[in-house]
Copies of this chain bind each other. A is one copy, B any other.
Amino acid sequence: MYASIKDVAALAGVSFQTASKVLNGQPGVASPATHERILAAARSLGYVPNALARGLVHQVSPTVGILSDDFSDAAIARFVTGAQREVDGAGHSALVVSIAPGSDPVSLLRRLQEHRVQGVLVVAPSLEGNRRLAAALPSSLPVVSLSSIPGARVPLVGSDHGRTGALAAEHLLALGHRRIWTVTGPRRRRVTASRLRGLRDTLAAGGVELPDDAVAEADWTSAGAYVATCRLLDEQLPPTAVFAQTDLMAIGVLRALSEHGLRVPDDCSVVGCDDFDVAEYLTPPLTTVRVPFEETGARAATLLLDSMRGERIPLRELLPVRLVERASTARPPPPADHDRPAPPAPTTSLGEPA
């Protein structure tokens, strides 16, 4: 179906070895006339070199494997977008295998190895802490991960999650908030714990406690955050500010507050995290901590490419995050407000335990 180099050589009237050299641009291997004849033959036959054969000879193919969670998560999609750009830009191709619920990461990795990828980028927070994957990663294969892999031998690229929580805390503290809630991702995820720790420690340093019942666990989705926030609002006096660990969850928080008659930011401030494109256009525009997803993916790919070239790369690199102030945060309502509960809330007295 595809013309081979022998077809090209035959048409040009040379040996296939000569054709190979000319087609690969080796200088001075053929007279200008022969050179041109070979190129013309290749063109007229629609010759497309066989990367499989070439890879066989070279023992490796110019390919990197990406072992990734589902792209329906926008953060994952952005990581991969950044990584893909670097990989393509370096003239490599990306072999992408995606982790479906119930699929075996080890066999996915093996598939990548069968294709003799030169390195593997792991974009799989869902596999965080997976020991089977960690054990299956051969030490001879360059790997970079965007989430933590047990054993700590795999270079990690990420963003500074502790700082993320700290930035939210500093902002809220500066505005004068003291009654703060946070809606988190799943507890077992490192990113959840790091963002929570950054928030809690910085609040504590500012003299504000973040009790356990001010922390609502959700699942990164608007739906989950909405439900978690409603539950808290039904049980407790409303806070004056909420930090949601993602923008998507902030949207759910906004909805829950609105349904409970709380205005943002007048009655309650909301801080998101990620700075997805929509954040700026929500009503009100969302104050959030910007997480550089594409840059992170790109950086991870760059390091992987370096590592594939035999360079030493750092075991851990965190990209900086920054606060983006918009209209969803403001000073807390005057203390008097705390005496009368928000309109649809159940009647509760101030002395009630938080």
Using a CB–CB distance below 8 Å, which chain A residues touch chain B? Answer: 1-2, 46, 48-53, 55-56, 59, 61, 63, 66, 70-72, 74, 77-78, 80-81, 84-85, 88-89, 93-98, 100, 103, 108, 110-116, 138, 140, 221-223, 226, 248, 251-252, 254-255, 258, 277-278, 280-283, 285, 294
CB <8 Å contact, B98 and A223: no
Bound CA–CA A251/B2 (angstroms): 49
Instruction: From A59, A84, A89, name the one whose CB has the most chain B CB atoms within 10 angstroms.
Output: A84
Listed A/B pairs (23) with beta-carbon separation below 8 Å: A48-B110, A48-B114, A51-B115, A52-B52, A52-B53, A52-B56, A53-B56, A70-B81, A74-B74, A81-B98, A88-B103, A93-B97, A93-B111, A93-B112, A94-B97, A96-B96, A222-B280, A222-B281, A248-B277, A254-B281, A255-B282, A255-B285, A282-B282
CB <8 Å contact, A52 and B61: yes
Contacts A85-B100, A93-B97 known; A281 to B74 CB distance under 8 Å?
no
CB <8 Å contact, A116 and B74: no
Shortest distance in angstroms between A132's beta carbon and chain B's nearest beta carbon? 15
CB <8 Å contact, B81 and A72: yes
Shortest distance in angstroms between A136's beta carbon and chain B's nearest beta carbon? 10
Bound CA–CA A252/B116 (angstroms): 46
Q: Which residue of B lies closest to A141 (CB)?
A: B1
Bound CA–CA A258/B288 (angstroms): 21
Residues in B whose Cβ lies below 8 Å from that of A283: 254-255, 258, 283
Shortest distance in angstroms between A258's beta carbon and chain B's nearest beta carbon? 5
Not counting A85-B100, A88-B98, A96-B96, a sample of 5 additional A-B residue pairs whose C-beta atoms are within 8 angstroms of each other reads A51-B114, A71-B84, A72-B294, A254-B281, A255-B281
Q: Which residue of B lies closest to A255 (CB)?
A: B281
CB <8 Å contact, A59 and B280: no
CB <8 Å contact, B71 and A277: no
CB <8 Å contact, A281 and B71: no
Residues in B whose Cβ lies below 8 Å from that of A252: 281
Bound CA–CA A277/B222 (angstroms): 8
In order of increasing CB-CB distance, the 8 nearest A-B pairs are: A222-B281, A77-B77, A51-B114, A71-B77, A52-B55, A84-B98, A96-B96, A71-B81
Bound CA–CA A238/B158 (angstroms): 46
Residues in B whose Cβ lies below 8 Å from that of A255: 281-283, 285
Shortest distance in angstroms between A80's beta carbon and chain B's nearest beta carbon? 6
CB <8 Å contact, B100 and A88: yes
Shortest distance in angstroms between A34's beta carbon and chain B's nearest beta carbon? 24
CB <8 Å contact, A114 and B70: no
Shortest distance in angstroms between A109's beta carbon and chain B's nearest beta carbon? 10
Bound CA–CA A140/B53 (angstroms): 21
Shortest distance in angstroms between A114's beta carbon and chain B's nearest beta carbon? 4
Q: Which residue of B lies closest to A50 (CB)?
A: B116
Bound CA–CA A277/B84 (angstroms): 25
CB <8 Å contact, A221 and B277: yes
Contacts A50-B116, A81-B71 known; A251 to B278 CB distance under 8 Å?
yes
Bound CA–CA A80/B72 (angstroms): 9
Residues in B whose Cβ lies below 8 Å from that of A108: 88
